Amino acid sequence: MYSFAIFLYALAVWLVSPFNTKAKKMLAGQRKTFSILKKQLDPNASYIWFHAASLGEFEQGRPLIEKIRQEKPDYKILLTFFSPSGYEIRKDYPGADIVCYLPFDHYWNARKFLSLVKPVMAIFIKYEFWMNYLNRLKSLHIPTYIISAVFRPSQVFFRWYGCHYRKVLNNFDWFFVQDQHSLDLLKRLDHLNASITGDTRFDRVCEIGGQQRELPLIEKFLNRTANREEMVFVAGSTWLKDEAILIPYFNRHPEMKILIAPHEMDEQRIEALESSLRCSVIRYSKADERTVGEAGCLIIDCFGLLSSIYHYGDVAYIGGGFGKGIHNVLEAAVYGIPVLFGPRYHKFKEAKELIACGGASAIADEEEFSSLMNNYLSYPHLLQASGKNAKEYVLSNLGATQSIYDKLFK
């Protein structure tokens, strides 16, 4: 049944690929995987295989990759992605020796992949449970782990009809989970090979926050002086529904400086965003230091800058909360600024905990957003207190990477 489901999924991707850029890139990338491995693998090296579904999971695993790279230079790193949104951005990541797509989870792909790689260890990040790959790893006696994992009762493993698929959990040598609830769910299935180590993303965002990359173009845009310091609002990874809540408020407050990084950056999408704003708007890709300070809104239409841009903000909004779920809230919280997001955040432990400690707020509509922003403008001490709570929350959750590393190697 599982293999048939994978076959149908692969067939669906193939059928939509002529009309879908992501599906087309995925298939093209998977076709190159085995040739990449044959060309780049060092037969005399010992490889640790990391697998991340997409970019977010990679960022979760990155601190551990770089820890191993630093402490255990005799090992080489193989990094695989399933999604183009991860691979296309990180295919040149210098922390790995080889980066490629993971082919669909067919039985013959798993056998061929692992016979080529022969990893000494396999590490899956957060939500990856590919049965054929995991079964093959088990049969080859290759130690296999999952890090920063989160389990919920709604997952198939814990449902009455999941008796067959839950066997996939038997293939892991150890589960590194984020919270007590996940540990309790595993114990219900008699998996005692688990420990709470937290979320490695805290270590990653703290590392980024400590670097505080300077962006001269952003500094010119803000145009801050001793006599002029407007509130700066950063909206990251926004979708149309997010912007429908935010834009009306910005249009009523031209004194604010706004940086918006939309989740999708095609030309039609950017043009629609530009036309919805009444203030002067400029794109990062077209701005120069001479004129950028005259704009009221700067649209970040390129990848790789958002995590550094948050530290210029006074308030951050994280998109996705009016859709499937919010994006990474920790990237902003680490800079000690209040974090806002939409109502669909309940699957995200860090979002719930940030709200509980006073470092974040969820907004349901334009009225709630306006009320909250007016309070921040009128009472700066509320803004500062919320930002302080956000940063203290991040700092109190550091250490997952070291805990996992110690378990793996010591």
Strands (E), 41-102: 46-52, 75-81, 98-101
Q: What is the pLDDT of residues 360-378, one digit of tens each?
A: 999 999 999 999 999 999 9
Please state the domain extents for the chain. 2-207+398-409, 212-395
The whole-number pLDDT of residue 212 equals: 72
Three-state SS for 189?
A: coil
Superfamily of domain 212-395: Glycogen Phosphorylase B; (3.40.50.2000)
Interval 281-299 mean pLDDT: 90
Confidence bin at 164 (pLDDT 50/70/90) = confident
Residue 226, Cα to own-chain centre: how many angstroms? Answer: 36
Domains 2-207+398-409 and 212-395 alike in fold: yes
Distance CA 393, CA 199 (A): 13
CB 294 within 8 A of CB 269: no
The contacts of residue 28 (CB under 8 Å, 6+ apart) are: none
Distance CA 281, CA 275 (A): 9
The domain over range 2-207+398-409 is classified in CATH as 3.40.50.11720: yes
Look at residues 119, 124, 102 and name the one whose alpha carbon lies nearest to residue 57.
124
Residue 52, Cα to own-chain centre: how many angstroms? Answer: 10
CB 204 within 8 A of CB 59: yes
The whole-number pLDDT of residue 228 equals: 54
Answer whether residue 148 shows pLDDT above 90.
yes
Confidence bin at 223 (pLDDT 50/70/90) = confident
Interval 267-279 mean pLDDT: 92
Q: Which two tokens stand for residue 187?
A: 């114990």
Distance CA 236, CA 243 (A): 10
The contacts of residue 307 (CB under 8 Å, 6+ apart) are: 205, 208, 331
The whole-number pLDDT of residue 225 equals: 56
Answer whether residue 85 shows pLDDT above 90.
no
Answer whether residue 227 shows pLDDT above 70.
no
